[in-house]
Amino acid sequence: MSVTKAITAPVLATLTLNPALDLQTGVDIVEPENKLRCDVARQDAGGGGVNVARVLGRLGGRATCILPLGGPAGQALQARLADEGLDALVVPIAGETRQSFTVFDRSRGAEFRFVLPGPKLKAGEVRAVETALADLSPAPDVLVVSGSLPAGMDPTRLARLAARVRRQGVKLALDASGEGLRAGLDAGVWLVKPNLRELQQCLVRDLPDLSSQLAAARGLIDDGRAAWVALSLGRQGAVLVGAGFAAHAPALPITPVSTVGAGDSFLAGLVWELSRGRPPRQALATAVAAASATLMSPGSGMARSADIRRLRPRVRIEVLAGG
């Protein structure tokens, strides 16, 4: 008599310290001085961790979004989360949640992205976010920390957060840049997803080819700074490296409609597969398919489930080490 063991879905959460209400519109041409008559604007909930949660939902998962929100823009963002059926743990703040806006210029077929800085969190508000995370029940199996740090936030707080959740047995997936990336790596994370520019700035050296990029990723793993390194390479595709494993996935031949959220979608695909114990090559294929599907979606609409399923068999995985 055979017994089939049920697969328990992992408990997932995302932390977005600097969320944004994303606005998208289009114009015939972007030019100075003249009034630009825009299309009707679309609004979406945005920010790194929020986008990751949105795509996790389309992959079949569910994640609790932890985020500080304030003002009318914060209320609108929370409404967009509710519209998508996402769970949100909101920490109220005094400042106004930022807005970002994307304008598509039809004459050029080009996208212009304007990103505002966002509010400065008070010390008590940062502590409230940390408390909300600590009190989350059940505790997540994986916590995704993605996006920019709020103005004035000390990056060492991110390092302390990474160290604390690691001691609690929570796997931390980090997508950050600058001092935030460096602080998280110093504390040690389960998964890190920089792009090439971010990794080069963090390591203070150029990584001009695949060989040097793989060596840099392996160095982070050997130093205990990350268990998995996912390096996005733009038109050259992406690399996933772990202990005894390395693979490269060339980019799919897609003409982007919008680049908003492609990196977040890539991270969502990795987290969804790896957190369920799927093989790393499968995780990389899903990640590339999710990112490619988002490139096909206008504005910040993010990947559609049907597009991810359709694109995934087209992803080619080149295993460089391991199985």
Average pLDDT of the residues of the chain: 92
- The dihedral built from the CA positions of residue 207, 213, 219 and 220, taken in this order, carries a sign that is positive
- Determine contact, residues 149/18, Cβ cutoff 8 Å: yes
Give tens-digit pLDDT for 282-295. 999 999 999 999 99
Report the relative pairing of strands 238-242 and 226-232 from DSSP bridges.
Answer: antiparallel
Residue 221 tokens read as: 């793993």
CA angle 18, 200, 254 (to 5 degrees): 75
What Å distances lie between residue 217 and 82, 195, 236, CA to CA? 38, 12, 16
| 264 part of the active site | yes
Give tens-digit pLDDT for 300-322. 778 899 999 999 999 999 999 87
Question: What is the percentage of the chain residues whose pLDDT exceeds 90?
Answer: 76
Q: What is the DSSP string of 186-229?
A: HH-EEEE--BHHHHHHHHTS---SHHHHHHHHHHHHHTTSEEEE
Give tens-digit pLDDT for 82-119. 999 999 999 999 999 999 989 999 999 888 999 888 89
Catalytic residue among 22, 44, 175, 264: 264
Give tens-digit pLDDT for 158-216. 899 888 998 889 999 999 999 999 999 999 999 999 999 999 999 999 999 999 999 99
Q: Burial of 259 by CB count in 10 Å (0-12 exposed, 13-18 middle, 19+ buried)? A: middle
108: DSSP letter = T
pLDDT-derived band at 323 (thresholds 50, 70, 90) equals low
Mean pLDDT calculated for residue range 62-74: 96
H-assigned helices in 24-106: 48-59, 71-83
pLDDT-derived band at 5 (thresholds 50, 70, 90) equals very low
pTM here is 0.92
Q: What is the dihedral of CA 262, 12, 59, 268, to 10 degrees?
A: 20
The CATH topology of domain 12-321 is: UDP-N-acetylmuramoyl-L-alanine:D-glutamate ligase (3.40.1190)
- Provide the pLDDT for residue 176: 92
